[in-house]
């Protein structure tokens, strides 16, 4: 899916288009070969305006970051942020998270970040959550052995539900916290996260480590 470019976004996009991958499927299986000199490939699903992406990229110059975002306005802001900080280890994908397997080969990714996704709270919407078993399977396939999902949300019901789903599907859970910033005040944050922290909203976080095999659920439940 190519990004639909609004006229007022085109000049801004052209200034930093060198970090946009319009045909990432051509890189599938060869990200670290095409972009040589990096030790790992990390993926962020829904990078928004790029504060977290850029912060992590700056802190980890040996890691290649692929930031996925389907909202054009947010994506352009994220790209401008990366270019403004002269970060050469980020590539942006104007794509949908549901197509993850089209852009990354099995075992190609070391870590996946899912930050503050839409909770899709209605029962009939649960399969659209980025922590639902169907999305977990996409992540499991893309991750290398021992690869990780780092998940953050301010939504308590979504977090508790996600904990159950990850455990049921065979992931090893660690670093589970319901008040992230109580112990890590200098953590890299998203824009939403920074706002929530100022408001005193507690942030939930977990790390799900890829197990030996993905366990297909008997039936997904909302």
Give start and end residues of each alpha helix (H) in the chain. Answer: 10-15, 31-34, 51-59, 72-84, 100-103, 133-142, 156-168, 191-198
pLDDT digits (tens, 9 = 90+) for 131-187: 999 999 999 999 999 999 999 999 999 999 999 999 999 999 999 999 999 876 668
pLDDT digits (tens, 9 = 90+) for 115-129: 999 999 988 888 999
pLDDT of residue 1: 43
pLDDT digits (tens, 9 = 90+) for 42-80: 999 999 999 999 999 999 999 999 999 999 899 999 999
pLDDT at 7 over 60: no
* Angle, CA of 64, 68 and 17, to the nearest 5°: 75
pLDDT of residue 217: 84
Domains of the chain: 1-105 (3.40.50.150), 119-146+155-222 (3.40.50.150)
Residues annotated as part of the active site:
118
pLDDT of residue 206: 97
pTM of the full predicted structure? 0.92
Q: Beta 40-45 vs 63-68: how paired, if at all?
A: parallel
């Amino acid at each position: 899916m190519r990004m639909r470019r609004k006229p007022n976004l085109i000049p801004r996009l052209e200034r930093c288009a060198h970090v946009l991958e319009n045909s990432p499927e051509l890189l599938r299986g060869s990200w670290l070969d095409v972009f040589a000199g990096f030790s790992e490939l990390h993926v962020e699903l829904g990078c928004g305006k790029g504060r977290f992406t850029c912060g992590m990229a700056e802190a980890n110059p040996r890691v290649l970051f692929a930031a996925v975002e389907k909202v054009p306005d947010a994506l352009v802001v994220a790209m401008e942020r990366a270019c403004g900080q002269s970060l050469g280890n980020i590539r942006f994908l104007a794509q949908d998270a549901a197509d993850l397997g089209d852009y990354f080969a099995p075992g190609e990714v070391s870590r996946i970040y899912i930050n503050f996704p839409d909770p899709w709270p209605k029962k009939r919407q649960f399969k659209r959550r980025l922590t639902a078993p169907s999305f977990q399977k996409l992540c499991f396939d893309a991750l290398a052995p021992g690869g990780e999902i780092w998940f953050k949300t301010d939504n308590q019901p979504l977090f508790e539900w996600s904990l159950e789903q990850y455990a049921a599907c065979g992931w090893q859970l660690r670093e589970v916290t319901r008040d992230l910033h109580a112990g890590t005040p200098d953590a890299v944050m998203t824009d939403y996260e920074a706002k929530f922290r100022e408001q005193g909203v507690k942030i939930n976080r977990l790390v799900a480590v890829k197990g030996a095999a993905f366990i297909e659920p008997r039936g997904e439940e909302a």
